Amino acid sequence: MFQKLSWIPLVVPAVVAFGLTRLALNGVMNIITGAGFVRPNFRGDHIPVGVGLLFFLGALLPGGMLIFWQPGLYAVNGLIYLLALGAMTLLGLVDDVFGSRADSGLKGHLKKLFRGEVTTGGLKLLAGGLMALVISAAISRSWQELAVNTLVIGLSVNAINLLDLRPGRAGKGYLLALVLLLVTHWPDRNLAWGMITAGALLAYLPTDLRAGAMMGDTGSNALGATLGIMTVLILEGPVKIGYLVFLVVFHLFTEKFSLTKIIERNRLLNYLDQLGRS
């Protein structure tokens, strides 16, 4: 009976997250705009930034519902998910509010850190790395697993951040990764965390695609944190190592080449990138 209803803890919380985010969307955008927290997008239009705060806000109630419903199954990993989501959202918000766009990328922030200069991006890198380490310590059973899990979480966060250069791109990247996990690991209960974040994302995504708001590092960090938590909890052995290798290669590639130019030159990637935009 439980197996037949295994979709319930994966789908129902996601629907709740979608509904809550949809209800809160206009209000949160009005608060951000009223505070003057707007920034020019790639077109030069001034739009509210940091609206990805909704992903964390939308996840609190459905995450709590799962923990309350079956604490034996969901309490530990649910609290880990909410902790990671909240911490990474906060670090992204700090970067959105106080950060400078002068330095970007891991290389730029690391260079400044080595020179003794602390940027908001460098602060996010250090604090985010420590948060990834703390989370990994709670779920790892060996030093090797601790190292792999820490890198997977940290690099997953930054990978989604690297995608967030055009409307909808970060959200589409996250959803693609989630679909792959759903196809290969349904109905693993840890998919619930990805589904909750996806519910909140889907309520917000049309606004992002219309370039009406930016999720900012606030939102891309939340998406990356969810992806990192899911993968370290679900993937095992060689598959997890393979994903880590992919993340490392992706970061090295994007440090050397422009991801946007590559997408624009590829017909399929450009079609997917433009899909839903107005």
2 domain-assigned: no
Q: CA-to-CA distance for 104 and 158, rounded, in angstroms?
A: 11
- The per-residue pLDDT for 242 is 97
- The per-residue pLDDT for 109 is 58
170 domain-assigned: yes
267 domain-assigned: yes
207 domain-assigned: yes
Q: Would the annotation count 161 as a binding residue?
A: yes
Q: Would the annotation count 217 as a binding residue?
A: yes
3 domain-assigned: no
User: Is the separation of the CB atoms in 54 and 21 below 8 Å?
Assistant: yes
How many domains in the chain?
1
221 domain-assigned: yes
134 domain-assigned: yes
Residue given tokens 């979608």 in the structure block: 18
Q: CA-to-CA distance for 85 and 60, rounded, in angstroms?
A: 10
15 domain-assigned: yes
Question: What would you report as the CA-atom Rg of the chain, rounded to the nearest whole angstrom?
Answer: 18
| pLDDT tens per residue across all 278 residues of the chain | 334 557 888 999 999 999 999 999 999 999 999 999 998 887 778 899 999 999 999 999 999 999 999 999 999 999 999 999 999 999 999 988 887 655 555 565 566 666 666 677 777 788 889 999 999 999 999 999 999 999 999 999 999 999 998 899 999 999 999 999 999 999 999 999 999 999 999 999 999 999 899 999 999 999 999 999 999 999 999 999 999 999 999 999 998 888 989 999 999 989 989 988 87
- The per-residue pLDDT for 107 is 60
Domain span at 134 = 8-274
